[in-house]
Structures are given as C-alpha cells and as structure tokens.
Structure 1
Amino acid sequence: MIKKIVLLSILLINIRCLAQEIYIIPQVGLNANTYDFGETSSNLSNQRFSPGVSAGVGLNIALDELRTFILQPEINYSMRNNRTDHISSGTMNEALTIQQKSTLHYLEIPLLARFDFGIGTRYYFNAGPSFSYALGGREKLESDEPRIQSYNRSADFDNRFNRTDWSALIGGGIEFPFNDGFLVLDARFSWGFKTLYKSREIQRVDNEGNLTSTIVGPEGKNRIFTLSIGYALPLN
C-alpha cells in the first residue's frame, strides 16, 4: 500500500511539472440511463425515460502551451434512475403491467484524454475509462396483478446488484471564455462492461393466467448519456 501511495505521489508530481495550465471544473448535469439486456428475456421489456442528476469536479491539466492535449481526471456523483415495464397477459387475456423502478447512487472516477481545437471559443472531444462504485439505492415494484407482491426496499448489493462497474466514456463539448475561466458545455456517453444484476427473479402471468417465476443470471449493462455544464477556474 505504501509503495502504491509513493508511486501515485511521484506520478502526480511529474504531471504537475509537465502541466502548462491547470483548471478546476465544478460541474452539474442530467443523465439518462438505460440497461442493455442483450439477448435475455428481459430485452422484451419496455424501458422508459427517467432522468437523474449528476454533479462533480474535474481537473483540467493542459500538457502543452496551446492546450490542444489535456488530461482530465474527475470525481462525480451520478444518480441512475430506471423504469422498466413488463407487459403480460392475465386471465381473460387482459393486459397486465409490472413496473420495476430503481434509483442507484454512484461515485464515478473517470480519467479522460481530451483533444481541443479552436481559438477563443474552443471545441473538444474526449475519451477514457471510468470506475463506478454504488453508494446505495432503492428498488420498487408496482403490479396490477394482486398475486405479485409489490415492494419498496433498499437495493441489495449482496445478492442482487453488483456494486462496481467499469465503463468506457466518449464525448465532446464546447467552452466559452468567461472572465478568467471558461464556461463548459459537455456531452458524453458511457458504455458499461459489468452487469448490473448478479441474479434476480422475474414474475409474470402466462397466457393461461398462471403465475410464473423465472430466475435470471447476470444481465443488464449500463448505457448512460450525460449532459452537463461547468465552469473552469484557473489554478496556476
């Protein structure tokens, strides 16, 4: 552990020595989160738009005098909301809707490489990896079918949800000179690699009106679009 801390300190010192300009960027925004269920049975469900908030801070470290190549580590809070409607047929073939809702709170740590161009008003695109850790959350189920019990409970990270996620970020934006800093508009997409669920039980009513229950394994990878605004303040 001590060796890792020393190596990290040396790396930060070297970056600080190479940096031409450093800005700190407080930022806030909205995200839209969906789950990619692949070829599983959950892919037949309908996901609805359910935005969440995001907020955090980044360090904008220019590695050349013209600020064309920038290293940008960040630490962010992300609320990931999701609503999924499961449609099935009950007795007399009436349509039944089972709504599953979840709100999960994540700490995200992206490390982005940013490429800038333009004079005055500047444009950029960025890309890089991101690590996410779930701090907590809740999940809720609402059903038209009285035999399927509704619930509203804390998210179970021991048996149901994976707490960590790795993802790739890609995006871009525009920054406008404002006083001593820059006003930054940023849009990015996150492609998660780790499944959201460890396993879960899905309850449905079949065409004959019988209640069925299916246990599904790991599935559901995060796909997140985030739009944010920030202000870059010079530190040196």
Structure 2
Amino acid sequence: MNKQLLVFAFCLLSLVFPSSAQVSLIPKVGMSFGTYQVNKVEDSEYVVGFAAGLGIQLPIPQNPIFSFQPEVNYIQKGTHYRKTDTPTNTPVDLPLQVESRNRLNYLEIPLLAKVTLGKGALKYYFMAGPSIGIALGGNYRSQLTNTSQTLIEQEGKIRFKQKPAHYTGQDAFFYPAGYNRLDVGIQIGTGIGLQVGNGMLLAEARYGRGLTYLLKHHIMYIRETHPDFGEIKVEFDRPADMKSRTFVISLGYMIAFGKIN
C-alpha cells in the first residue's frame, strides 16, 4: 500500500507543472515537533520526530517573485500527554495518572504558494497552502501510575487495520469507527536561501495545523493483574477531537535546471 501511495503522489506532482516551466528540485531533511490538540487534557507536550521530502518549485512565467511548490514528504507527528482521573471498578482508591506518548508516520502532500524576495546570493521566502496526509502507522507507549508507583505499562505499534480475532498483544488497532487516517490541513512557513555552488542551500521553519481529527474520543481500556492490587480494570472514555499541530525545521538544497519558454 505504501508503494501505491508514493506512485500516486509522484503522479499528482507530474500533473501540476507544465513541461515548458523551469523546474527546481528541493530535497530536504529535518526535525518535526508534533502534538495533537486534545480536549480536557491537563498536560500536553511536543514529540520530536523525523521529516524528509522532495519539493518541486515551479516559477510563474513573467513573474519571478511568485512560484508554486508541491511536495511529497514523510513526516512524524505525535503527542505526549498526561491526564489524571479517578476510575471506577478498580481496587486502587486513588486518582490515577494516564501518560501516553504516540508517534504516527505520515505521507504528506502540501501544495504551496511561494513568494521569494532578495537580490544576489541571499534570498528569503514565505509560503502557505493546503496539505493532505495519510497515516501509515506508528507506535505508542502508555503508563498508568498512582502517587507512588507504576501500575501498568504498555507499548506497541499503532496499526490502521482491524484487530485480529483472539489477539492478545499490546499493539493498538485504529480501525474503523472513530478514527481518521487522513489529515487535511494548512501550512505556513518561512526560510532563507544562500547560493552555494550551482544550487541554493535552504534553511526553513514551517507550521502545520490539521483541520480534521485523528479520533473523536480517546478510549483506553486496561484489564490486568497487579501483584499488589489484584485485578485492575480501568476504562477512560473522554471527548478528544484530536487534531495535529506540527512545527518542522529543515535544511534543503534547491537544484535548478531547464528553461522557461
């Protein structure tokens, strides 16, 4: 499925630029700092991830300041959050803290309008536009603690498929009701470019805001036997409406070739 998504992405890019335009390729690599907006969560932190991709800058004929830049990116998004609650049906008569760290891998296609200013070897630019991403999978780690000790700890992969019958592992299966693999959003960014050799070295900062939710409710159901407290049954079902918020810093190198007719 991942190979089919890559083929689709590059076919989409091939449709958006004319053969007569001068094309600049922009391979890049960087770091992402992601979180999800989660309602009624006491403490949410950013998760550091990896980002890389390939952009194609298409200048608008007769107007070198403006250009169009579609991209195909691999980016990790996620969140690290804590929430304290007092569950029912558990022998532990104390508030419990749920701590969860999730990291999801996305194939993302931004379609950006770009304005480039400056003269000589130094340029600076601004960009904005919509994006669409699809979650490929990921991993998670969660802990359930009271005031003195860790009661339960789980970790595994996040899979966007149906849970197999009689599965007893710790992988999380996001399928199908309530979950949304598509992340439609908007991106804005700025950067500087310095002429180095035949191309231009780019340093860029970008912010992405998801408009669609990953899931509507955050549901956690745990049933395990603890050596001190016996069987622990915990169920959290809270409105979540999780939407992505991601900062990316990256370095790239713009390689120009061809001519504008």
TM-score range, shorter chain: 0.7 to 0.9
Give the Cα separation in 2 of the matches to 1:84 and 1:64.
48
Q: Match of 1:76?
A: 73
Match of 2:175 among 158, 183, 192: 158
Residue equivalent to 1:57 = 54
8 Å Cα contact 1:55/1:77 also seen in 2? yes
More displaced stretch, 58-67 vs 71-80: 58-67
- Match runs of 1:108-123 below 5 Å: 108-120=108-120, 121-123=122-124
Work out the percentage of aligned pairs sharing the same amino acid: 29
Distance 1:172 1:104, change over 3 A: same
State the aligned residue count.
216
Normalised to the residue count of structure 1, the TM-score between the two structures is 0.80
Taking structure 2 as the reference length, what is the TM-score of the superposition? 0.73
Change beyond 3 A, Cα 1:84–1:203: farther
- How far does residue 125 in structure 1 lie from its aligned partner after superposition? 0.5
RMSD of aligned Cα (Å):
2.9
Q: Describe the shift of the 1:57–1:190 C-alpha distance in structure 2 as closer, same or farther (beyond 3 A).
A: same
1:41 equivalenced with 2:63 (yes/no): no
2:235 equivalent in structure 1: 213
Structure 1 unaligned spans of 5+: 1-7, 205-209
How many Å separate the matches in 2 of 1:105 and 1:165?
A: 11
How far apart, CA to CA, are the structure 1 residues paired with 2:45 and 2:145? 18
Question: Which deviates the most, 183-192 or 140-149?
Answer: 140-149
Which SS does the other structure have where 1:16 is aligned?
coil
Of 176, 195, 204, the residue aligned with 2:213 is 195
Q: Find the aligned partners of 1:157 and 1:119 in 2 and give their Cα distance.
A: 50
Q: Which structure is higher in helix share?
A: 1
For residues 134 and 81 of structure 2, what CA distance do their matches in structure 1 show?
23
Query: Which has the higher mean CA deviation after the structures are superposed, 59-68 or 129-138?
Result: 59-68
- Give me the whole-angstrom Cα distance separating, in 1, the residues matched to 2:240 and 2:44: 18
User: Where does residue 176 of structure 1 map in the other structure?
Assistant: 194
Q: Which runs of 5+ in 2 are unaligned?
A: 1-11, 159-172, 223-231
